[in-house]
Amino acid sequence: MRKQKTLAREIRIEGFGLHKGKWSRVTIKPAKANTGIIFVKRGPEKNDVPIPAHIDYVVSSDYSTTLGKDGVEVATVEHLLAVLRLARVDNAKIEVEGDEIPILDGSGLPFLHALKEAGFVELEEGIKEIIVRERFFYEEEDKKIVIEPSETSHLYIEVSFNNPAIRYQSFSYRMDGLAAAGALAGARTFGFVDEIYFLRKKGLIKGGSLANAVVFDRNGVVMNKEGLRFSDEPVRHKVLDLIGDLSLLGMRMRGGVRAYKPGHSFNHRSLKEFLKSGYYEILSAE
């Protein structure tokens, strides 16, 4: 039987948030079987509201994923959720002091290092899994996603940007546990010089800098002096973001996913449609 997993001990990570620009601290704690991933926001008012990492609790999809319940919100959860999924952590309680998960270096790597250092434990109960049974297709303008039956869990993502540094990139990834996770976790958030003014005007990326994002100018020049970590870093980051969003199904998924030009709000609407479709079955490991 494939058993559910959690962390072997708690870990604590702190830093600035990308969008709100404020300091925050997260403590990721082991949790018992069937808890799932839950965020618990700690505040001076001590109103501990548990917010499940589930698509039903997405309250904003604007350039990142914000979860909320009863007026309490936690922003920019996607990279941490993606890394928990890559590490196959089914249960964890994430206490948050602040409004947003720290952006750190813009990638999932610091979370992955911390999780590996903490280690993992198997719980007695078997995993629950969404098994894709029929081919699901969803599109909006030029964005497309296919979720289809497959014995393995894998993703194939294509992106297209009107910037000479990216143009078209594709990346194929098989969910293969920790060994392969570094290929995605290290890919950083990225953006373009030309959109900084627009995003700041929307009240976003207040904490954004070259320390936590790759920035391209309109000629495709990388503004960061350290350059890129991977020649196709943008598409790898999009895969990471999509894995974080897919984790909002609340359990592991067995199936293949192909997406063209994914983004958070599109991902969230696709997942809601997928859940409505009924093209899947939820099975518990025996």
CB of 12 to Zn ion, least distance (A): 22
Closest to Zn ion by CB, 33 or 239: 239
Closest to Zn ion by CB, 2 or 200: 200
CB of 263 to Zn ion, least distance (A): 10
Q: How far apart are CA 47 and CA 255, in angstroms?
A: 38
Closest to Zn ion by CB, 189 or 247: 189
Amino acid at 64: S
Q: In the numeric block, which tokens belong to residue 80? A: 């941490």
CB of 87 to Zn ion, least distance (A): 17
Residue in the shown chain whose Cβ atom is closest to Zn ion: 241
Angle at 144 between CA 192 and CA 212, to 5 degrees: 30
Within 13 Å and on the Cβ side, how many CA atoms surround 231? 3
Binding segment for Zn ion (CB under 5 A), chosen from 28-36, 236-244, 245-253, 276-284, is 236-244
The strand pairing partners of 2, in sequence order, are none
**79 catalytic, yes or no?**
no
Closest to Zn ion by CB, 189 or 270: 189
CB of 108 to Zn ion, least distance (A): 9
Q: How far apart are CA 169 and CA 142, in angstroms?
A: 16
Nearest to 254 by CA among 158, 155, 121, 156: 155
CB of 83 to Zn ion, least distance (A): 11
Helices 78-86 and 233-246 cross at an angle (nearest 10°) of 80
Amino acid at 140: E
Query: Which residue has tokens 């897919």?
Result: 246
Which of 19, 113, 264, 268 is catalytic? The answer is: 264
Closest to Zn ion by CB, 41 or 237: 237
Binding segment for Zn ion (CB under 5 A), chosen from 96-104, 213-221, 234-242, 256-264, is 234-242
Q: How far apart are CA 48 and CA 267, in angstroms?
A: 28
Residues 178-217 that bind Zn ion (CB under 5 A): 189
Per-residue interface string for the shown chain with Zn ion, residues 144-183, x marking contact by CB under 5 A:
----------------------------------------
Q: How far apart are CA 8 and CA 23, in angstroms?
A: 26
Query: Which residue has tokens 């540094």?
Result: 165
Q: How far apart are CA 5 and CA 27, in angstroms?
A: 17
One residue of 241, 242, 245, 262 binding Zn ion per CB under 5 A: 241
- CB of 124 within 8 A of CB of 33? yes
Determine if 99 is a binding residue for Zn ion (CB under 5 A): no
CB of 165 to Zn ion, least distance (A): 17
Closest to Zn ion by CB, 189 or 212: 189
Contact positions vs Zn ion (CB under 5 A): 189, 241
Q: Which residues are tagged catalytic?
A: 264
